[in-house]
Amino acid sequence: MARQRAREIAFQTLFQAERGGLPLLDVWQQVREDLQPGSSDVETEELYGSTLELETIRFADQLIRAYAEHQQEIERQLLDLIEGWSFSQMAQTDLNVLRLAVAELLFAPKIPKEVTIEMAVRTAKKFGGEESGRFVNGVLAKLYKKLATTTPLQG
């Protein structure tokens, strides 16, 4: 549960940065400050829930930093996988779920790929439209197959 909550916090942070046209790591720093124990802000709790365990914050940090550090590679992977859609045509929700899931698939090798995909689908269903889960699953399944043929999958 802590990792799924971390994925959702990372997604919300990326979404907020994209919407506001702000640097991702700056938004993440503010979110982390907002989530510190003792900073009980009603709006923050409505967005992110109550304060987080250190493990949850660390995993969200890992995902956000992986995306920030490897953004060009992640975007390139997505452009190769998504057929018939440009990023500007896609729902921002779906795109950001995919960005973080690809970051996790490529740069968090200890997490089983199947778990990453399932959790991304859940996040897409929770925050996206009616077809978001199916779309995200289809794109990530393509990447999973691609990774399976180019590198040994690690659990």
Write the pLDDT tens digit of every residue in 51-75: 567 889 999 999 999 999 999 999 9
pTM: 0.86
**Contact indicator for 105, 143 with CB cutoff of 8 Å:** yes
CA dihedral 22, 7, 93, 153 (to 10 degrees): 110
Kindly report the CATH number that applies to the domain delimited by 2-150.
Answer: 1.10.940.10
CA gap 46, 43 in Å, rounded:
5
The pLDDT tens digits of the residues spanning 76-102 come to 999 999 988 888 889 999 999 999 999
All structural domains of the chain with their residue ranges:
2-150
